Amino acid sequence: MNAHLQPSGSAYFLAAETQKPERHTLSVLVDNEPGILARVVGLFSARGYNIDSLTVSETEHEKGLSRITVVTVATPKVLTQIKLQLERLVPVHKVHDLTAEGKALERELALVKVAGSGEHRVETLRLADAFRAQVVDATTESFVFEVTGKPSKIDSFIALMVPLGLVEVVRTGLAAISRGPEGM
Amino acid sequence: MAEQMTGAEMVIQALVDNGVEHIFGYPGGAALPIYDAMFQQDKVQHILVRHEQGATHMAEGYARSTGKVGVVLVTSGPGATNAVTGLTDALMDSIPLVCITAQVPTTLIGSDAFQECDTVGITRSCTKHNYLVKNVNDLPRVMHEAFHIANSGRPGPVLVDIPKDVQFALGMYLGPDEIGASRHKSYHPATSGDARAIEAAVDMMLKAERPIFYTGGGIINSGPEASERLRELAELTGFPVTSTLMGLGAFPGSNPQWMGMLGMHGTYEANMAMHDCDLMICIGARFDDRITGRIDAFSPGSTRIHVDIDPSSIGKNVRTDLSIVGDSGLVLEEMVRIWRTKTNQPRTEAIAPWWEQIEGWRSRHSLGFKNSDTTIKPQHAIKRLYEATKGRDVYITTEVGQHQMWAAQHFPFEMPNRWMTSGGLGTMGYGLPAAVGVQVAHPDALVIDIAGEASVQMTMQEMSTAVQYGLPIKVFILNNERMGMVRQWQDLLHGGRYAHSYSESLPDFVKLAEAYGGKGIRCSDPKLLDAAIQEMLDYDGPVLFDCLVEKHENCLPMIPSGKPHNEMILPDFEDDIGAVIDEKGRQLV
Ligand SMILES: Cc1ncc(C[n+]2csc(CCOP(=O)(O)OP(=O)(O)O)c2C)c(N)n1
Ligand SMILES: [Mg+2]
């Protein structure tokens, strides 16, 4: 879990790490076959890399391809290793470091349950509107909101909901894609 | 030609179609249909082992000594889990294996059935790739792909798990040619390196004043051609050559440009040259921690070229200045060709001062040791073994420990594929079964396991396999009645407190050999050693040679933990070795 704190590679690496850890979003194009997610996740845990967020779903059914989006925190040197190690896996086609390749689009979806009454409900709805959160379930004492956007926007929305009666949250993890005409 | 057959028959047919002549295995309930199909044919010879770990090391020895894929067949559950050590060993040392494991029927998977285990889950991180085949019609493709993946790119073990109902099921068999390209379009290992990078490398070599070739197991894996090209390039350039443990034999031990092995127990000249070189040309090696020593003090002034078929090996542990991703043999061939277009002179004059410096280091005789008239020194025993077998086609395997390092230091090789040892994983118990595998592949050759008395007991039962198949392996045990390497580290790091590093009751190896149906020889007198070795070599059958050696010999030279290349402990070091390593170095392995 602390890969960024540990100098990689050698048992004899006594030098202090000089590189700073960075947060990067990787997009991994893989064959959609049994065990592929376990291979990718197993590689991260076996080699001591971080996973901050992970999403996976089939994206091209006819070709049997899935895309895995991983957010990780590591030094530039370890980031290169992560990419190369992922590419060694037989069912992995390509790995793109979206963060290194320019400003990628990053989105996440959250479902946020808030319970309360009176003035709190009014305030909750006002804030939800400002964040373009949709009400997807309502009772007389609760709402469930669907909110999408950058993770930081979702963080802010959730923070605002805490004093208004936040009950629970689920988040999908990050989905990311590069800008412009080119695909992976 | 497409043909209908059972899954079990497909397994055999796929082995035949992929050129397999021998497989190492052990039966069990879930594997019986494959064993039945095996029984009804005579193209593939099955070697019955005594423990599945033995099968994996035999397959490794077989693979490493032939360049072919080694094949293992085991049953579900304990058969599969017993194979895990050998699979991991093969992964670490890039040895091509195909391991077929039987599995409980698909309908029982996940029910904790008798002898069920999650084989693909357990082996995911110790194989290059693995498969669970749930449909018999996938089986031919998976089998062919397994061989392709095992033996291409950076080689490694591939596992195919086949449930029992799939072995019984009928399906259509297609040969490797009919199936065509492997289904995994994502798998395309590198072959030839980038032409411009290779040219740049040659240009750097043409300017070098203190160059060194640092070569590794990748040259062996590439095939004998690669070793030929290395010899040619060394001759053309005049540069010194060193190698990792895994690369021994790629360059002839008798060549004056040979520096000996480098690394933790490498020669002083090889390590000093690595430290002081201005150009390091690394080919098929991976800057492992046993090689680099303290990494922030590793070869401080060098420019580094790294040739490797696996891009993730480049820049993993140390900085590289020029990287070439490709098969080492093809890259060497290209280097030779380009060098020839630029000059027909080695850089003899330009690097003469460098050679002079190397000769200075050589004159320290870092592999020296104090011989004795009364006790057999282990290094001496290996040197006598070498002299007695010189000129014969000899294959050496080893176990793990001091004897392994002494063998690497004192038994030079002229050819590739003659040296089989467990490098990356350091698996005690590798050598005896590996020798069996080598002997299966080379029935007429002389195959010797240089062993330690502790290691050899881990897979001793494969003597029984050797006897059954008439495989005349020689197990040369350097018996110091100690786990010598552990004892040495306890002296280095733990004040000489020998916690559990010796055996209270060793077996009588002579009687043990006889119990197995082999021959036992014991020798403890240096004056009788040569005759005893000759007796071993003359015997036509498996031998356990119990060579009683000095018990407290240290394996030197040595780069202690946490020290750079230029701070080796040399054999003439008189002080207390317990005082060499500082507090920080103590934490390292
Ligand atoms: C399976 C396994 N267990 C433990 C070790 C740790 N280990 C490395 S060398 C060694 C001692 C080997 O003793 P021996 O075979 O007698 O060789 P020697 O060093 O005495 O030559 C041990 C226990 C290992 N390498 N492999
Ligand atoms: Mg010993």
How far B455 CA lies from chain A's nearest CA (Å)? 24
Give yes or no for residue A7 having a pLDDT over 70.
no
B125 contacts A8? CB cut-off 8 A: no
Cβ of B494: how many Cβ atoms within 10 Å?
Answer: 14
Atom number of ligand 1 nearest to Cα B400: 9
Contacts of A84 in chain B (CB under 8 A): 311-312
What is the tens place of the pLDDT at every residue in B208-260? 999 999 999 999 999 999 999 999 999 999 999 999 999 999 999 999 999 99
Residues in contact with ligand 1 by the CB-under-6-Å rule are B 399-403, 426-428, 452-455, 478, 480, 482-486
Atom number of ligand 1 nearest to Cα B404: 21
Average of pLDDT values for A1-12?
A: 39
Average of pLDDT values for B42-70?
A: 98
What is the tens place of the pLDDT at every residue in B54-65? 999 999 999 999
ipTM computed for the complex: 0.92
Atom number of ligand 1 nearest to Cα B453: 16
A12 contacts B295? CB cut-off 8 A: yes
Looking at residue B566, its pLDDT comes to: 87
How far B295 CA lies from chain A's nearest CA (Å)? 5
CA of B242 to the centre of ligand 1 (A): 26
Rounded CA-CA distance A76/B508 in Å is 57
Which residue's C-alpha comes closest to atom 13 of ligand 1? Answer: B483
- Closest CB to B289: pick one of A10, A15, A30: A10
User: Before B155, cis peptide (omega within 30)?
Assistant: no
How far B175 CA lies from chain A's nearest CA (Å)? 22
Average of pLDDT values for B132-157?
A: 97
User: Nearest-CA neighbor of A108 among A179, A173, A25?
Assistant: A173
> Would you report the helix, strand and coil content of chain B in percent, each value rounded to 5?
40, 15, 40
CA of B559 to the centre of ligand 1 (A): 19
Strand stretches in B248-400, DSSP E: 258-261, 279-283, 303-308, 322-325, 394-398
How many contacts, defined by CB atoms under 8 Å, are there between A and B?
Answer: 72
Question: B170-173 and B157-163: which strand pairing?
Answer: unpaired
Give yes or no for residue B576 having a pLDDT over 70.
no
φ, ψ dihedrals at A147, nearest 5°? -130, 135
Rounded CA-CA distance B565/B581 in Å is 14
Q: Catalytic positions of B, please?
A: 52, 114-115, 164, 485
pLDDT band at B181 (very low <50, low <70, confident <90, very high): low
> Residue B385, class by beta-carbon neighbours within 10 Å (0-12 exposed, 13-18 middle, 19+ buried)?
buried
Global pTM value: 0.95
* Token pair in block for residue B468: 């059954």
B235-273 burial by CB neighbour count: b if 16+ within 10 A, else e?
ebbbbbbbbbbbbbbbbbbeeebbbbbbbbbbbbbbbbb
Contacts of B187 in chain A (CB under 8 A): 90
- Mapped onto helix, strand or coil, the DSSP state of residue A162 is helix
Residues of B with a Cβ under 8 Å from any A Cβ are 120-121, 124-125, 128-129, 132, 149, 184-187, 287, 289, 292-296, 310-312, 315-318, 561-562, 584, 588-589
Looking at residue A8, its pLDDT comes to: 38
User: What is the H or E stretch that residue B451 is in?
Assistant: strand B446-452
Helices and strands, number each (H, E), in chain A: 4, 9
Best B127, B295, B310 residue to mutate vs chain A (most A CBs within 10 Å): B295
What is the tens place of the pLDDT at every residue in B332-349? 999 999 999 999 889 999
What is the tens place of the pLDDT at every residue in B413-468? 999 999 999 999 999 999 999 999 999 999 999 999 999 999 999 999 999 999 99
> Which alpha helices (H) appear in B501-581, and where do they start and end?
509-516, 529-538
Q: Which amino acid is at B368?
A: G
CA of B426 to the centre of ligand 1 (A): 8
Give yes or no for residue B50 having a pLDDT over 90.
yes
Best A8, A12, A41, A43 residue to mutate vs chain B (most B CBs within 10 Å): A12
What is the chain B residue with the closest CA to A85?
B312
A35 contacts B289? CB cut-off 8 A: no
> Residue A112, class by beta-carbon neighbours within 10 Å (0-12 exposed, 13-18 middle, 19+ buried)?
buried
> Residue B414, class by beta-carbon neighbours within 10 Å (0-12 exposed, 13-18 middle, 19+ buried)?
middle
Give yes or no for residue B575 having a pLDDT over 70.
no
What percent of chain B stands above pLDDT 70?
98
A14 contacts B295? CB cut-off 8 A: yes
Average of pLDDT values for B298-310?
A: 97
How far A38 CA lies from chain B's nearest CA (Å)? 8
B145-173 burial by CB neighbour count: b if 16+ within 10 A, else e?
bbbbbbbbbbbbbbbbbbbbbbbebebeb
What is the chain A residue with the closest CA to B148?
A90
Rounded CA-CA distance B291/B309 in Å is 19
What is the tens place of the pLDDT at every residue in B285-298? 999 999 998 888 89
Give yes or no for residue B171 having a pLDDT over 50.
yes
Contacts of B295 in chain A (CB under 8 A): 9-10, 12-15
Rounded CA-CA distance B61/A45 in Å is 31
Rounded CA-CA distance B253/B234 in Å is 13
Which residue's C-alpha comes closest to atom 5 of ligand 1? Answer: B428
The CA-CA-CA angle for residues B424, B430, B431, to 5°, reads 115
Atom number of ligand 1 nearest to Cα B458: 1
Average of pLDDT values for B482-494?
A: 95
* Token pair in block for residue B244: 């990792």
* Token pair in block for residue B472: 């005349």
- Closest CB to B589: pick one of A11, A34, A80: A11
Rounded CA-CA distance B91/B185 in Å is 22
Query: Which has more confidence, B295 or A5?
Result: B295
Average of pLDDT values for B12-32?
A: 98
Count how many residues are written for chain B: 589
What percent of chain B stands above pLDDT 90?
90
